Amino acid sequence: MKLHGRSVLVTGAGGFIGSHLVERLVECGCQVRGLVRYNSRSDYGLLEDIPQGHKEKVAVIAGDLRDAGAVRKAVAGVDMIFHLGSLIAIPYSYIHPEEVIETNVMGTLNVMLAAKEHGVSKVVHTSTSEVYGTALYVPIDEKHPLQGQSPYSASKIGADKIVESFHGSFELPVTTIRPFNTYGPRQSARAVIPTIITQALTQPAVHLGAVTPTRDFTYVSDIVEAFIRIAECDDVIGRTFNVGSSLEISIGGLAGRIMGLLGKEIEVVQHDDRLRPEKSEVQRLWADNTLAQRTFGWRPSVSLEEGLQRTIAWVSAHLDRYKIGTYGI
């Protein structure tokens, strides 16, 4: 299934990964429609950052995933859906679990219902490595048990199961992509890599939460390439695929790596207000990406060092966007 000329909808188009995916889909020759969450400023989020020539080719629709009518209108007439829209901040989910669950579970239900109603040819649904919780074994393959260690991860488990059920019940052509930690240009300081970089560039110390947990980081262009390959592959319907680098690094080790690239030696200070509740902290994530390699030939091409260098360069040029030193949830 080639993408050129196809009409596609990207939910969460104004987000970090969503904006990069929209940019790539335009380059693939797609007719792109982007659903962004409405605000009174007519601000399209990170879509504002894509090249003007790309932006002019995107039909932007403002709405809310929780509004079934708005979702049906956004879906009408498209051939394929990339469903990335969700509330993703784990600390925010501790404070506002109802909003997170409504958006991520009911929002996904609305997308599935609209896709079924309009006969969409493929839906690529976005999961998260957080659904695995602390690894029971490593590397983590797609058969690993799902563990809801935060309201956010529970909401994504619920969304994944809604998608699974629509394939089983209605033969809806769906595929779930499960990215591990993604990073790169445009990412907010809610994520750990921009948090470390912005503080290391401007502050006498870097303030973090837990530094011993490990994560598997993949550069955003590689994640986007996985979306593209899934969309073009016929042998993915009804299946779930891990997308990660298959390398793990501790948060403390990551901070040290960034300091080295910056040529700085800065103290890392652990703050209690940045810590997750003990039983909610995911201690270890490490992707097994074998299934993605075998099925659609995907593997990351950007090393951690190269990706960090690119991200440092972008963040350095856009420091005015960040509220440095403020803990953003």
Judgement on whether residues 270 and 126 belong to the same structural domain of the protein: no
Establish if 317 belongs to a structural domain.
Answer: yes
Say whether 44 is catalytic: no
| Confidence at residue 9, expressed as pLDDT on a 0 to 100 scale | 99
Q: Are residues 79 and 227 in the same domain?
A: yes
Helices 251-262 and 304-317: crossing angle in degrees, nearest 10, is 60
Contact 61, 33 (CB under 8 A): yes
Based on the fold, state whether residues 75 and 222 are members of the same structural domain: yes
Looking at the fold, whether 51 and 83 belong to one and the same domain comes out as yes
Name the catalytic one among 132, 152, 219, 322: 152
Q: Does residue 235 lie in a domain region?
A: yes
Say what percent of the chain tops pLDDT 70: 100
Same domain, yes or no, for 253 and 270?
yes
What tokens appear for 154 in the block? 């529970």
Looking at the domain assignment, is residue 117 inside a domain? yes
Cα–Cα nearest to 325, from 210, 198, 211, 209: 198
Q: What is the DSSP string of 125-177?
A: EE--GGGG-S-SSSSB-TTSPP---SHHHHHHHHHHHHHHHHHHHH---EEEE
pLDDT classification of 327: cutoffs 50, 70, 90: confident
Name residues whose C-beta falls within 8 Å of residue 21's C-beta, 6 or more positions apart in sequence.
Answer: 10, 13, 82, 84, 224, 227
What's the pTM?
A: 0.97
Residue 290: inside a domain: no
Burial of residue 41 (number of CB atoms within 10 Å: 0-12, 13-18, 19+): exposed
Range of the domain at 226: 7-183+217-243
CATH number at residue 19: 3.40.50.720
Whether residues 143 and 269 fall in one domain: no
Residues 226 and 211 in one domain: no
Cβ atoms of 36 and 45 closer than 8 Å: yes
Same structural domain, 227 and 280: no
93 in any annotated domain: yes
274 domain-assigned:
yes
Instruction: Please choose, from the candidates 110, 14, 2, the residue with its C-alpha nearest in 3D space to the C-alpha of residue 58.
Output: 14
247 exposure class (CB count in 10 Å sphere: 0-12, 13-18, 19+)? middle
* Res. 329 pLDDT band, cuts 50 70 90: confident
Q: Which residues are paired to 183 by β-bridges?
A: 219
Residue 326 has what pLDDT?
A: 82
Tens of pLDDT, residues 69-120: 999 999 999 999 999 999 999 999 999 999 999 999 999 999 999 999 999 9
End-to-end Cα spacing for the chain: 39
Q: CA torsion, points 104, 108, 109, 112, in degrees to nearest 10?
A: 180
User: Tens of pLDDT along 270-301?
Assistant: 989 899 999 999 999 999 999 999 999 999 99
Residues 55, 81 contacting (CB under 8 angstroms): no
Per DSSP, the three-state class of 30 is coil
Residue 247 has pLDDT above 80, yes or no: yes
Same structural domain for residues 38 and 175? yes
Whether residue 58 sits in one domain with residue 73: yes
Distance separating alpha carbons of residues 197 and 175, to the nearest angstrom: 34
**Each residue of 24-63: pLDDT tens digit?**
999 999 999 999 999 889 899 999 999 999 999 999 999 9
Q: Residue 210 belongs to a domain with what CATH number?
A: 3.90.25.10
Q: For residue 97, what are its two tokens?
A: 């679990």
Around Cβ 270, how many Cβ atoms within 10 Å?
14
pLDDT at 325 over 80: no
Please check the confidence at residue 328 and state whether its pLDDT lies above 90: no
Identify whether the C-beta of residue 18 lies closer than 8 Å to the C-beta of residue 34: yes
Residue 103 has what DSSP assignment?
I
Residue 298 located in a structural domain: no
Q: How does DSSP classify residue 284?
A: B
Q: How far apart are CA 20 and CA 16, in angstroms?
A: 7
Q: What total number of domains does the chain contain? A: 2
151-170 and 107-118 helices, crossing angle to 10°: 20
In a domain, 2, yes or no: no
- Determine contact, residues 77/118, Cβ cutoff 8 Å: yes
Which of 186, 250, 241, 256 is closest to 219 using CA atoms? 186
Contacts of 294 (CB under 8 A, 6+ apart): none
| Same structural domain, 279 and 134 | no
What's the whole-number mean pLDDT along residues 140-154? Answer: 98
Same domain, 78 and 90: yes
